[in-house]
Amino acid sequence: MLILYSKLIGAPIAEIKEAAKLGSITDFVINNDDLTIAAAVVEIGLPLISKKKIVSATDFVRIFKDGIIVSSDDAIVELDEIVRVAKLYEQKCHGLAQKVVTKSGQYIGHVYDYLINSNTGAIQKFYVKKMFTDRIIPASAVISMEGKLITIKDDKPYVFVPTVETALD
């Protein structure tokens, strides 16, 4: 199933054994090597006094459009406990608000949403906005993702206007 990032933000992280909500998803950390979800950033507790922690994608039992299921509450750890994820988090590899440019340096826009394959955790498409134009960039067009910058191929077929696909629920 394909799920939009924007539909998962604010959704619960739940434990399968107790069927209990452990926290709310506030963001994702993206593995910049293969454009997969590395971890979910989770808010634990009440707003204003909550604490941000992470759940590694390897601990996901299933991603649903209504949230993520993990096997136990032990899956939620401090950010610095998983070195690779902490490094990606520091580099701001979140996917959202990242600047998108072509290999030749042409500015395409900023990412405002992305489509996640719930079975693999791979990002399928980036939704990019520049002033009054929206575009969908397939993950196959991405050459590199370094911090807040995504570089895509110069080929024109990779940059196109959204279709009905943006209305996914």
State which of 71, 90, 109 marks the end of a domain: 90
Q: Count the neighbouring beta carbons within 10 Å of the beta carbon of residue 101.
A: 15
Give mean pLDDT in consecutive 10-residue pieces for the chain, a chain of 169 residues.
95 91 94 96 84 94 95 93 93 90 93 96 94 90 93 74 49
**CATH code, domain with 163:** 2.30.30.240
Domain around 125 = 99-167
Contacts for 13 with CB less than 8 Å, ≥ 6 apart: 21, 22, 23, 24, 25, 40, 42, 55, 67, 68, 70, 76
Q: pLDDT (tens digit, 9 = 90+) per residue, 95-130? A: 889 999 999 999 999 999 999 999 999 999 999 999
